[in-house]
Amino acid sequence: MKNLGQLISPLRKAPRDQADDSNWGRFRRNVFVSFVIDLVVIVGTALVLSLLIKSFLVRSFFVPSGSMLETLQIDDRIIVNELVPDLVPIERGDVVVFQDPGGWLGPVSKPSDNPVVAVSDWFLSAFGITAPDSSQHLVKRVIGVGGDRIVCCDVDGKLTINGKAITEPYLPKDVKPSTIDFDVIVPEGSIWVMGDNRDNSADSRFHLDLPSKGFVSKQFIVGRAFLITWPFNHFGWLDNYPDVFADVPNP
């Protein structure tokens, strides 16, 4: 015959088991909540870092035209070092992205009036995921820096910089350095730029009649393009061909 203690014992266990189940439920909920919080913090931190990097170090652009063929194809995605030229000096041969110095571009398409699209473009571009303003920028190669005298062309049909003729291996086959004659001296704080696809590049040569005289002032330069990231079969570093300009004397 069971004594009183044996009869009471199961009754005492029941509330404890229910409490354990309740604690386990709270534990599982807390683990899920903790996971969600950690995920939000990680994603938020990544986005903030991406924003800081895009704002101060690098950002991406799409190539809007064929003026840099065959080096860059239309719609190639490129990464630009924004430390150039404020902290890192521009060098001859660099591929640079710059804003319109005034009168280089024709009418630019207006941003979408759709608020959802506008907010989406703003958000994604803030983190370097898209580059909706690429059509408002130009991509060219630096041929001359401040003080350089650039002349086209010598008796061999080559450009000369400070009296030194250069051979340009980045030009497409059978494309001449220029079919337009010019003789310019680059002002300090500016650059002279030309597209690699010289026959289809409205570069410095075509803007001599503007107030800028075809030169691009430092204030308009976004940075130096150094990497092609998309499409993946175009992935690679952009060369600034230092050997081409190695023997060019200082102005």
Q: Which residues are catalytic?
A: 67, 140
Strand partners, 81: 58, 224
Q: What is the 3-state secondary structure (H, E, C) of the chain?
A: CCCHHHHHHHHHHHHHHHHHHHHHHHHHHHHHHHHHHHHHHHHHHHHHHHHHHHHHCEEEEECCCCCCCCCCCCCCEEEEECCCCCCCCCCCCCEEEEECCCCCCCCCCCCCCCHHHHHHHHHHHHCCCCCCCHHHEEEEEEEECCCCEEEECCCCCCCEECCEECCCCCCCCCCCCCCCCEEEECCCCEEEEECCCHHHCCCHHHHCCCCCCCCEEHHHEEEEEEEEEECHHHCEECCCCHHHHCCCCCC
The maximal CA–CA distance of the chain, rounded, in angstroms, is 123
Exposed, middle or buried: residue 67 (CB in 10 Å: 0-12, 13-18, 19+)? buried
Backbone φ, ψ for residue 108 (5° rounding): -100, 135
Cis peptide before 82 (omega within 30 of 0): no
